[in-house]
Each structure stands twice: as structure tokens, then as C-alpha cells.
Copies of this chain bind each other. A is one copy, B any other.
Amino acid sequence: MKKLTVGILGPGTVGGGAYQILVNNHDLIQKRTGVSIEVVKLLTRRPRSEYPADLLTDDPDEILNDPNVDVVIETMGGIQPATSFMIQAMKKGKHVVTANKAAVAASYEELVMTASENGVKFLFEASVGGGIPVLTSIQNPLSGNNFTEVMGILNGTTNYILTKMTEDGADYENVLKDAQARGFAEADPTADVEGIDAANKLSILIALLFGKYIAPSDIPTKGISHVTGQDIAEAADENCIIKLIAHAVLKDGKISCSVAPEKVPISHPLAGVSNEFNAVYITGDMVGEVMLYGKGAGALPTGSAIVGDIIDIAKNL
């Protein structure tokens, strides 16, 4: 039986989800891949009683420099030290799997090139759309297409808030407070509500769809904090619904892109994407329109995408 060993940098919510899937579904995955995948080390700054104590370390080198670790899962979040750790791991010949959209979007070209130079895989399906298999679809089954457009609902917090504002006629501030109380929004919601998280994800989508890197800071970005009940009512009068849309179009060789609240006709497939769900609507010259829909966040959906990437590595051992 082939074996693949995994170290996790930051076994918090998302990394913990991946851990749980690798443990709970170990036998299923072994049956499907012919490989036994084993988590051998977890980097955490504080004690975590939910994991076996002998797996824990607070020294990154115990994962990054351990020749017995084949794959590193990076789920620390934040740009640094996550990016340095990923690069260090790849230079040591380890495959890297991450859910960290901010880090991938900030250093896309360096990360991809480091993987290529070191003959390892750098996979980040979980960084866009959580559990939705969007990046794999773009890079494999859809990759015979010239892509012309992408529209994404890529942030669950803002979609939840806009859904509640639309359904209940409530105003932004009250819905935000409710979302925070229910755990759908963070205490500091800036990165979500101002569209920064969606811009990071759009940067990654643009790189894969159009083969061109546009830094998140170069994407015109407007959040939902100024959307009013009146805006929503006016959109409804036009048979539209307001959604925060990450949008990119390739026309005459030029990419135009933005993250902004847009009026989406209620007959459009994206209009039915409610609450914390995400969806990506892609147009290719051959396939036409494709939409991929699912949970864009959460421990297990995001963990599912991470484990999918690890399975990809296992199948290619």
C-alpha cells in the first residue's frame, strides 16, 4: 500500500475540517486512490485538545524540514508567514495545498513558479468557492474553451446579508449584527462586506481563466455597506435582485473586471443563489454557460476541497 504523509500548518476551522475528513473518510479515500493518507504533524501556537498530543508542534521546521512529510496543507490564513512557509515547503520538494485566497492572490506568480521549478504540485481549489469544484473544472474538463466571462457570488457573508435584506426588508446594519450573532459574519467584517475577499478570489479566477495575473488591489472593488433597502426595492421593480458580483469579461484581448453590487435579473441562474451559498457562472466559447454552485465556506465544505487536492496528488504518486 502506497502512503502519503501530510502536515497541516494552522489546524483551525478549515485545517481542522480537512483533518477530520482525512481521518473519518480515510478508508473510503484509500479505496478510491489506492493510497493511505495520514496526517503526521500539526503546527499550532496553542494547545489544542481536539488533536492527538503527539501530532502537535509549535515549530514550523518540524513540518517544513521533515523529509517524512510529503504534503503541506496551509490553512493559517493571512499573507505572511503563510506565503514564506509555502515557498519553503515547495523548495524542500513538498506538494502544497492551500485554502488561503489572500496569500494565493497576493503572490500567485511566485507560488506557481516555485512549484514548477521544484517539480511539486501547488493546489488551491479550496481558495475560491469553498467546496465548489470550480478551479479543477476550469483547468481540466473545461480547458478546451476560450473563456469570455465569469460572474461569481464568491462571498457567503455578503450573500447572506443581501438575501436577508431582500427577503425581510431589513436594513444593512441590523442584518449585519444578526449575521455576526449567528456566526455568518466576523467581528471585523471589513474584508467580507467591502468586497476584499471577493476581489482576492476574482484575481485567482482571472489568472486561471484568462492566463493573466491582476492583483486584487488593481480590481475596482465596491462592497455592500452602502446598499440600502431602497436600492433593493428599485431593483425588484426592474425584476432584478442585488448581488455582490465578482465580474470579469475578456473582450478584444482586454480584461475588464470589478467587484460590486449588481442588479441580476431574477431569471438569471445566479439570482437563485441565496444565503451563504456561492456560485460561479462561467462562459466559454464552446461549452456556453456553466454554473457551479455550493457552500463557499465552512470547515467541512472547504476541507472537502482541500482533501480533493490531496487526492489529486495521491492519484499521481
Contact = CB atoms under 8 A, between A and B. Distances in A.
Contacts of A273: 269
Contacts of A17: 286
Report the interface size class on chain A: 35 or more
A28 B286 CA distance: 13
B293 A287 contact: no
A50 to B, nearest CB: 17
Contact of A300 (B22, B28, B143, B288): B288
Contacts of A312: 140-141
B141 A309 contact: yes
Contacts of A315: 140
Copies of this chain assembled into the complex:
2
Contacts of A304: 141-142, 144-145, 284, 286-287
B145 A140 contact: no
A303 to B, nearest CB: 6
A211 B288 CA distance: 31
B292 A25 contact: no
Interface stretch (A99-107, A129-137, A199-207): A129-137
A14 to B, nearest CB: 12
A132 to B, nearest CB: 6
Contact of A136 (B141, B211, B291, B295): B141
A21 interface: yes
A83 B199 CA distance: 48
A256 interface: no
Given A133-B140, A311-B140, A312-B140, A295 B300 contact: no
Given A29-B143, A32-B143, A137-B136, A286 B303 contact: yes
A272 interface: yes
A294 B286 contact: no
A290 B29 contact: no
A301 interface: yes
A105 to B, nearest CB: 20
A70 interface: no
A131 B141 CA distance: 8
A25 B145 contact: yes
A300 B272 contact: no
A174 interface: no
Given A136-B141, A269-B293, A286 B300 contact: yes
Contact of A292 (B140, B288, B293): B293
Contacts of A308: 140-144
Contacts of A272: 269, 272
Contacts of A211: 31
A161 B226 CA distance: 43
Given A137-B133, A137-B136, A144 B307 contact: yes
